[in-house]
Amino acid sequence: TYVIAQPCVDVKDRACVDECPVDCIYEGPRMLYIHPDECVDCGACEPVCPVEAIFFEDDVPEDFSHYASINVEFFAELGSPGGAASLGPTERDHPAVAALPAPVT
């Protein structure tokens, strides 16, 4: 599967969403998450992210390695909704993401 990492936090460009053929990139308040079982590894999302937040699971940089489980755990409650567009934005980030310092404004 592919993984979205910290550069997405508070950026949420969403270019990746438009590229995904199976609509498996789900929105939280501060970042987006790839569903590990719904992703078909097409890789279309990875090059379009302007902040390079998306990695194949084996290529996640060490600094962001915990984001592999963050993407998985995000779906613990949601299960497999089968489509991000019909689900819409969700109300809760993964706790580790929610706990990140707020952006400087």
**Residues engaged in binding ligand F3S (CB under 6 A):** 2, 4, 8, 11-16, 19-20, 22, 24-25, 32, 34, 39-45, 49, 51, 53-54
Q: Measured between alpha carbons, how far is 78 from 5 in angstroms, rounded to an integer?
A: 19
Quick one: 40 or 95, whose CB is closer to ligand F3S?
A: 40
Quick one: 83 or 95, whose CB is closer to ligand F3S?
A: 83
Residues 97, 70: contact at Cβ < 8 Å? yes
Least Cβ distance, residue 36 to ligand F3S (angstroms): 9
Quick one: 16 or 72, whose CB is closer to ligand F3S?
A: 16
User: Which CA distances in Å does 83 have to 47, 66, 80, 87, 99?
Assistant: 22, 24, 8, 6, 27
- Within 10 angstroms of residue 98's Cβ, the number of other Cβ atoms is 13
Least Cβ distance, residue 33 to ligand F3S (angstroms): 9
SS3 assignment, position 55: strand
Least Cβ distance, residue 98 to ligand F3S (angstroms): 16
